[in-house]
Amino acid sequence: MDVAVIGSGFGGLGAAIRLRQAGVTNVSIFERAHDLGGTWRDNTYPGCRCDVASNLYSFSFAPNPKWTNTYSYQPEIWRYLQDVADEYQLRPLIKYDHDVLDVSFDESSKQWRLTTSQGDYDARCVILATGGLAEPRLPAIEGLDTFDGPIMHTAQWDDAVELSGKRVGVIGTGASAVQTVPQIAPIVSTLEVFQRTPSWILPHLGHPVIERTKKVFSTLPLAQRLVRAWGYWRRELMVLGFVKDPRRMTKAETMSREHLERQIKDESLREKLTPLYRLGCKRVLISNDFYPAFARDNVTLVTDAITSIEAKGVRTSDGTLHECDVLIMATGFFVTDNPMATKVHGATGETLSNAYHGNLANYKGTTFPDFPNFFMLGGPNTALGHSSIIFMLESQLNYVTKAVRVALDDDALIEPKAHIAARWTRELQAKLPGTVWDMGCSSWYLNDAGVNTTIWPDFTFKFRTATRHFDPRDHKISTSKKSEVS
């Protein structure tokens, strides 16, 4: 095939659409699951919702005038992706139940060899679109495998696990936990929430969309585009605090503290829920119902450190055994240590995971020296703390589709020049000191060495500008006609 796309979430579907618009049709999408949708297919835990407004959290070329809430819930976003796949007739391209086990560049054929659970495939170009939030992380807590009852990661929710009337423990207080805790609190018998670090939480402004608005968006698409643009630019202003001067976060911190004070009257509980790091250092959360859940008699916040998990429950540092029937792991994902990256081998045999550990330079978070005709969506330092990842994916696709076009038209192998990629990576890293992610908290934005290899540290329109074109001068382009064009 000309292009193998791995993953059928926003990135993979967006890639297939943009490639087709660029005239590239010999494309297959490899999907390990039974259905498309990526993280929005997998995360079915109660309350799962996007914390970016619906109008912005969608493809610019496929607005949805029918969003029922200004901040969509998971089922509606998943439905949206299915509708997009239908509208653009992408389903025939998808190879379901194909788990990609290895992606290696073959020097002799000058192609990529994909080893999958259903056989091998060769492709001239590969677009890796597996996303950063695809591999659930279970924490390395001693005794985890000795627990007697069901253990469920939020991204692997199993409706068959009975929660009603059970003693439930939730480990973690990040984005997934704050959404699911209020939903399950009313049905369980007791709920103990194990918090290691409190999150900054701001009021949620989401609300249902009235019929008249939907009608206006349907008949006057420009109106929806304006709302999207308004939301985009308001979010861009946040970069001033995140990147340029984190002291600007003080105002949002005050808002968050007031939110906490309004919702939690108990002073000692409030203290436990108050973060001691700069707002933005970890992902900022929005919720109106997480704090109130602790007002329920059956919900307890546990802040003593977890020392082990035993057959009957969770042991904490004060010696208490918190007995549970079910454990829910809201413990996030492998991001900088995503297993998928270890499965990709470039022309020298080096793995892609080096890109997250300072040993492999990247160009615009998308391409890598010695990885010819290989493109990564959502690559190093392209995730966002303040806006929509879809904006970033679409930016990357501007560059990717143009590069793929050249690779196919000229029968060429394209990769960024090593010194150009090194410069991009160096200059990007030079922007990080002094940003909000450099304020001493731990987060999934940082790799093992504490370096932010995840978040884009600037305005997103600058990334859009950087990825607008394919610049041949920045690339090594080898063709069968000429060994090296540029």
Count of CB atoms within 10 A of residue 22's CB?
15
Q: Which of residues 39-78 bind ligand NAP (CB under 6 A)?
A: 49-51
Q: Which is nearer to ligand NAP, 29 or 52 (CB)?
A: 52
Given a contact cutoff of 8 angstroms between Cβ atoms, the answer to whether 485 and 478 are in contact is yes
3-state SS, residue 404:
helix
The first and second tokens of residue 396, run together, are: 């990357």
Site string for ligand NAP, 401-440 (x = CB under 6 A): ----------------------------------------
Q: How many residues bind ligand NAP (CB under 6 A)?
A: 26
Q: Which two tokens stand for residue 338?
A: 């995503």
The verdict on 174 binding ligand NAP (CB under 6 A) reads yes
By CB under 6 A, is residue 126 in contact with ligand NAP? Answer: no
Does 169 bind ligand NAP (CB under 6 A)? Our answer is no
- Check binding of 330 to ligand NAP (CB under 6 A): yes
Cβ-contact 275, 198 below 8 angstroms: yes
Taking the C-alpha atoms of 408, 410, 415 and 416 in order, what is their torsion angle to the nearest 10 degrees?
Answer: -120
Measured CA to CA, the distance from residue 380 to residue 400 in angstroms comes to: 15
Radius of gyration for the alpha carbons in the chain, expressed in angstroms and rounded: 23
By beta-carbon proximity to ligand NAP, the closer residue of 111 and 388 is 388
Residue 33 and residue 10 in contact, taking contact as beta carbons nearer than 8 Å: no
- Cβ atoms of 133 and 389 within 8 Å: the answer is no
- By beta-carbon proximity to ligand NAP, the closer residue of 93 and 306 is 306
CA distance to 120, 121, 188, 339, 357, per residue, from 116 (Å): 6, 8, 41, 15, 26
| Distance of closest approach, residue 43 Cβ to ligand NAP, in angstroms | 7
Choices 133-141, 229-237, 261-269, 363-371 (CB under 6 A): range interacting with ligand NAP: 133-141
In b/e form, how buried is each residue of 207-239, taking b as 16+ CB within 10 angstroms? eebeeebbebbeeeeeebeebbeebbeebeebb
Parallel, antiparallel or unpaired: strands 111-116 and 100-106: antiparallel
**Range in contact with ligand NAP (rule: CB under 6 A) among 171-179, 243-251, 269-277, 354-362:** 171-179
Nearer to ligand NAP, 154 or 367 (CB): 154
Q: Residue 334 and residue 97: Cα distance in Å, rounded?
A: 22
Tell me whether residue 67 or residue 194 sits nearer to ligand NAP (CB atom): 194
Distance of CA 215 to the CA centre of its chain: 31
Nearer to ligand NAP, 82 or 173 (CB): 173
Q: Are 100 and 114 in contact (CB under 8 A)?
A: yes
Q: Which of 139, 186, 358, 440 binds ligand NAP (CB under 6 A)?
A: 139
- Pick out residues in 140-159 that bind ligand NAP (CB under 6 A): 141, 154
Selected binder of ligand NAP within 100, 177, 181, 428 (CB under 6 A): 177
According to CB under 6 A, which one of 306, 314, 436, 477 is a site residue for ligand NAP?
Answer: 306
Contact set for ligand NAP, span 333-392 (CB under 6 A): 333
Nearer to ligand NAP, 144 or 161 (CB): 144
Residue 393 is a binding residue for ligand NAP (CB under 6 A): no
Taking CB under 6 A as the rule, does residue 85 contact ligand NAP?
A: no
Work out whether 173 is an interface residue with ligand NAP (CB under 6 A): yes
What is the three-state SS of 87-109? HCCCHHHEECCCCEEEEEEECCC
Residues in contact with ligand NAP by CB under 6 A are: 49-51, 133, 139, 141, 154, 171-177, 179, 194, 196-197, 283, 306, 330-333, 442, 444
